[in-house]
Structure 1
Amino acid sequence: MNEHSREYYMASGKKQGLQGRKIQQIKMLPQTHAAIKQSAYNSSIEISEMYDKIISQYLDLIDQRPNPVEYFASPKRGVNTSMWINTEICERAAQRAKLDGTSTNRVIYTAIRHFTNQLTGF
């Protein structure tokens, strides 16, 4: 799906629930995405809502920290994973990235790593 058709797809309302969302591609290990899907299933929410929750909670957490944040790069052997994220949360992650001099993808990936580390206890 190219950029123009994606915009039409969202604007036309063909897919419910995607209005107010932005597609973001993050490279991650398949088991990371599988763990998030399982958490979404266990919480009885859509995976896009789970990503919203993960990113939003992480942004809330780092907003309270006085120290600089160390961001992680996506794994080289990861797989590009597309996710629909709430536009406001995407904008908030982009603002944080700009403030910290990093990319939005690194902020989002670090949020995901933080979440999965909590799941596994590492």
Structure 2
Amino acid sequence: MKTVKWEKKFETGIPTIDRQHQQLFDLTGELIKATEEGKGRRIIVDVLKNLIHYTQTHFVDEERIMKEIHYPHYEIHKKEHENFIQEVLVSTKELIEGRSMPTLKLTNFLSQWLIEHVLIHDSQIGEFAHHSQVERK
């Protein structure tokens, strides 16, 4: 699995969200690297827990911003966040209980979801925020 890297094309134009997305890309890359290098279960669980915690913090901030700008697709977007967290929590629980190790499936899911979510869904928030500001001027 090739690690995910932050690129300019992922920018939403909302500085808080962009900084947090960069961190999410870094944490996802760290998990992919730890998995590929066969790091121990404890190290991988720690990286995964950090990723989950930071993702939850980011989602709270992103959802707050969506509410502030009256983003019309807030509920749909929030549901995508909830589904993502649920999927990752299930995988983490299995890992902690010793039932599985992060596999190519998990790291592919994380990186694919992050890239698609940022490029498609989060970019729409940025576009809406930009157009809302332009209209108010």
Question: Normalization by structure 1: what TM-score?
Answer: 0.30
Larger radius of gyration, structure 1 or 2? 2
The structure with more helix, counted as a fraction of residues: 2
Q: Which structure features the higher share of strand residues?
A: 1
